[in-house]
Amino acid sequence: MKTQSAHGIKAHPVSVDPTQMVQAIKAALLKLNPVVAARSPVMFVVLLGTVISVWQLFAMGASHSQFYFTLAVAVILLATVLFANFAESIAEARGRGQAANLRSARAELMARRVVDNGEEKISASMLRKDDLVRVAANELIPADGEIIEGIASINEAAVTGESAPVLREAGTDRSGVIGGTKVLTDEILVRVSSDPGHSVLERMIELVEGASRLKTPNELALTVLLSAMTLAFLVVVVALPFIASFVGAKVDVVILIALLVCLIPTTIGGLLPAIGIAGMNRALQANVIAKSGKAVELAGDIDTLMLDKTGTITYGDRQATEFMPLAGVTKAQLRDAALLSSLADPTPEGKSIVALARKQGSTTEDPADPHYILFSAQTRMSGVDIGERRIRKGAGDSIERWAKEQGSQTDLAELHAWVEKVARGGATPLVVAEGRHLLGVIALSDVVKAGVRERFAGLRALGVKTIMITGDNPITAPAIAATAGVDDFIAEATPEDKLKRIRDEQVLGKLVAMVGDGTNDAPALAQADIGLAMNAGTQAAKEAGNMVDLDSDPTKLLSIVEIGKQLLITRGALTTFSLANDVAKYFAIIPAVFAAQLPVLSALDVMKLSSPNNAVLAALIFNALIIPVLIPLALRGISFKPSSASDLLRRNLLVYGLGGVLLPFVCIKLIDQILVAVIGA
């Protein structure tokens, strides 16, 4: 996906290979099936008009004076339906092309399934949810799943396109693996997460191909509106002969069909499915698997965006940079206690503490028979019990409470001073305690990602509020929030805090999006209107979210919001253009129908077209040709810059509203002149 923080999201280039073109043409012909055509009421009416025109041809015979005119109308109407079918088919063909790339990673694989008496080698297609498979170095992972034992370096290039290996480990928030990817080192035990044909990746393949695509709520609402407009115009056109008879006028059936087709919103009716499918394709281009088209569309309506600080706003590789002992505590005491409390800490922060302690000369050996206390979002601390020694490190308030429970009576003024100093410098302070004794502070430094502030400013211009979620204390959090340019933050956040804030926003009528990767994020991901789960995350997180990022990049949520915005703007702009077109076509057809018999209506003939028949043909030709002309725009999406709703509306009305009115006048007049040159007035 191409984005620019300062200039907004660009349109995606459209590339269609010859194979996709042939597939689209075949599919367009197959969609002439009335059962298939009925899914689009607008185009079904055009198809019905084509059938009636053909019937008229057979009824009047070749000698009839209007035979060739009727033939031309029938051909143009058929072309209109085919162009509309082609728009949807080419979008589906591009989706199938993307799906083929995904399927290349889903070739027939073999699996070593764990059974009671050992292992059995079977086809990956025979695996079922909750089966256990063992995968060793240089073997392909046979199915999507979660590592429950082991740690491995994995090459995910076949699916994500990223050649750099990634580390996946059991019992962490990065335990998810993708079928078709390759284990480079070590051996892992994987629990399969879905039955064949029901993986997230396979569901996405079906969606982008259009096979199981359901209309999104906005698309469905627009379809209902277009259907209502079509029905209204149908009633009017059917009533016209009866009305005309009262004033002595006669209206030809073919002319009535042409009038109906030109008045109903055929342009947007033909392009609407293509716009929806293209939105799904753009999400997939960004390596994001949406479980439904609704999720992509809904992203465009998001009011509040909640993001974790670490890995999203900051680089996420916080490193221990300094040990700050309290009075009466030596640096060696703090250093060694911090090292012991971090030996079983699998996080980059924990490993950096061990590395810094060793670098500064710690010779403390691994303890015998330790009992490690793992970090949890609820306690916000970790540590180790070694005999009578109880060492903990974690967030300042959590460690203070724990130390008090152990009987601590330490004056907290010095500790708070160190914590505040570290926090005000934009680093994260961790407090270390041994029993009732507070030992000091560890400084963890992180850096805000370049360009994040500009992207948040762009989202703010689109009316999206950004909220940073962090476990940092209330002193550090404001410093990071100010640097990143977010609108609000939640400090010392627990899973309950995330869930409560999402619900609070939703009570206010806001649509909320958030990103997460751990099991503790699952409730919030499920509660949010848009939940983006990391593919490397736990199975619980992926099941709770309605989108999965194959790259496991938390910043991807920003791109998803922009894709959703682009989808909505594209649909809105082309709808405006289509409805505006009808105004000009009205002034081409109405004089052709009535002016000759009712001279009083000649004032409507503002276009001064050469003849009634040429006027009808010119309007129909424009009506047919504008659909394929707009197909590239529907597929790539409209470029836009982050701006307010009023600015977007103003641009929409000026460019696509006014342009939609003026362009048909020019084009219909030009086509009329060409018809005069070819067939005469």
Question: So which residues are the catalytic ones?
Answer: 308
Comparing CA positions, the residue from 616, 568, 573 lying closest to residue 592 is 616
DSSP code string of 281-346:
HHHHHTTEEESSHHHHHHHTT--EEEEETBTTTB-S--EEEEEEEPTT--HHHHHHHHHHHHTT--
Q: What is the rounded distance in angstroms from the CA atom of residue 288 to the CA atom of residue 551?
A: 8
Q: Is 383 left (phi over 0), alpha (psi -120 to 50) or beta?
A: left
- Two tokens at 43? 């185009």
- State which H helix or E strand residue 9 sits in: strand 8-9
Whether the Cβ atoms of residue 537 and residue 516 lie closer than 8 Å to each other: yes
- State which H helix or E strand residue 133 sits in: strand 132-135
Comparing CA positions, the residue from 273, 367, 357, 266 lying closest to residue 320 is 357
| Residue that has been written with the tokens 């993708």 in this structure | 178
Comparing CA positions, the residue from 296, 233, 234 lying closest to residue 556 is 296
| Residue that has been written with the tokens 């789960």 in this structure | 533
Whether the Cβ atoms of residue 518 and residue 538 lie closer than 8 Å to each other: yes
Comparing CA positions, the residue from 73, 97, 453, 436 lying closest to residue 261 is 73
Output the CA–CA distances (angstroms, integers) from residue 64 to 56, 257, 258, 260, 620, in the order listed. 11, 19, 19, 23, 21
Q: What is the rounded distance in angstroms from the CA atom of residue 639 to the CA atom of residue 11?
A: 5
